[in-house]
Structure formats: structure tokens, C-alpha cells
Structure 1
Amino acid sequence: MSNHIRIRAGAIIIKDDLILLTEYNDPIRGLVYDFPAGGVEPKESIIEAVKREAKEEASVNVEVGPLAFAYEYVPHLNNNKFGKTHTLVMMFDCVIKKGSFPKLPEIPDPNQTGVKWIPLAELEKIELYANIQSQLKNYTFHKRNIDLIQEHNIKYEAD
């Protein structure tokens, strides 16, 4: 069990009180939304994964900002409702780069039907894959970020 926790990276993109979400027609749950997010690949930093997932799922280039929050899914504590893989999702506050516009990618994820700007005030009216609407609204109002410390960016004095 060498990889017992799957690490995912995601983008929180908010502009003018709207949040950018990917839209899916889930065979079991119907219409659901999610963030541009996905698994971190081998030899990829978490920041690189955020950029790649935003491009792959929403067709946007992003500037990755601070870590907004982490979300953990532990299967045995949740009756395996999202499968049997223990997952840690690190969500980053992102901004779309100038000249980049969200749209459904040419090769969307399975069941992906769109990329939508959803008013923050209407988050409770939609279904997110993870039911974190209240935590997301709390984050947008208070913007308490968490520092991501990356060893490769730490400067050491010469010995």
C-alpha cells in the first residue's frame, strides 16, 4: 500500500462574485459541478498540477495563488460514497491569465458537459461533487489563505 492517499490539486477561480466550475452529467447523481481539479502526476509539483488541470478541464491558463484550503475524503468514514480511495485535495486561489477564456475543452473529462460561471450567491442551489458550499462561501468572504511551503523554494545559507 505505497500510495494509500491520492493527492489532488484544484483551482478556485472567482471573478465578480462568480465562481468557475466544471459541469457534469453524472449517471447516478445527475447534474453536478466541481472545480477544475485532478490528481497530481509523477514528477509534477502541486502547482504544476493546478495549472494543468485548469487547462485540461476549463481551457484556461491560470496564475496560481495561495493555498485556499484542503479537503480530505476518508472512505471508511464516509461509507465509501465516493469510492475506496483516500484522497487529499489541495485547493488554490487562482486568477485566469489575460487572453484566456473558459470553455469546454476539445476532449472533456467523461460526463463533462460544460464550464460555467456560477454566482456565489447561488452555490446552495447547485450540487457540488463534495458538499462544501458553506465552506467555500466562508472562504470567499474571509480569504484566510494557508502558506504552501515548497522545499525547492527555500533558500539556505551556504555552509
Structure 2
Amino acid sequence: MRNRSMLPLLLTALVVLALVAFGGAGLMGGQGEGTTPGAASGASTAPGGPGTPAPGKSAAPHRGANPSSLPEIRESALPVEGRRVLALIRAGGPYQFSQDDQVFGNFERVLPARDRGYYREYTVRTPGEPDRGARRIVAGNGGEKYYTGDHYATFKYIAEGS
């Protein structure tokens, strides 16, 4: 009888392990990471997916067309702290804050809609602020980067190399 009482515990442990191993894809009613709604089966937008560099892992600045309808800001017009963060992103770190290089959820829906995991965020220090402040750079897997000076209320596409 003792073995039967352990069965529910073992099943629960197996479910938890499976969720951890597979990242909980499909939980919370969302789409699994790595697929774009309406995309053909097998298409991937997962970080580091085929042909898609992980954000910040490309040494070259993104010089493509603005993939959003957001206004642009020239790289040279960013605050000096923002230009430093861009250099760190291109180098792959190291970053000052543990929250940097973490998934940005785009919950405000200001940036173009993408699957969870597509965007990552980085802190741009604000001189005189005792904490991380409101300024961030958000990088997409396609290499595009956006700047916000007001903690995600508004964004500008960063025209890198200008």
C-alpha cells in the first residue's frame, strides 16, 4: 500500500519536470514560443532560431529599415549612457544589472507584436537616479533596437550607425 500512496507525488513531480524541460509552452493561453501567429508550420522566431541572431549577439549595428511605425532617433542623439549600453549589447555584455538581457514582455504593446522571447531589455542609467531609472533599450531578435526614456510609455526606433 505504501507504493500506491507515492504515485500521486511521483506523477506531480513528472509533470513539473516536463513543464520545466519544455518551458511551459502553451500555458496561460498564449502561443508557444518560437512560432508566429499565422506563420507556416515550422517557422521560427525563437531567440537564436535559424537565421535569426539573438538580440545583442551581432557585432554589427542594425542598419535595416525601421520595422515599426515608431519615430526614429539617431544613435548619435542618444544620451551618452544609451550609446554605452548599445556598445555593451553589441559586445554581448557584461551588463550592470541582473535584469538586463532578460525577456521584455511588450505588455504595453507599443512595439511591433512578436512572440514572447523576441525582445530583451537593457537598462540605460539616468545620472542622479538612485535606482535603475526609467530609460531602457529594447532589442529584437532581428537586430532592431528601440529606446524609451519614460519606462515603456513611448519608444523610438534607434537608427544605428548614424
TM range (shorter): under 0.3
The one of the two structures with greater contact order (alpha-carbon pairs below 8 A, sep at least 6) is 1
TM-score (norm 1): 0.22
Larger Rg: 2
TM-score (norm 2): 0.22
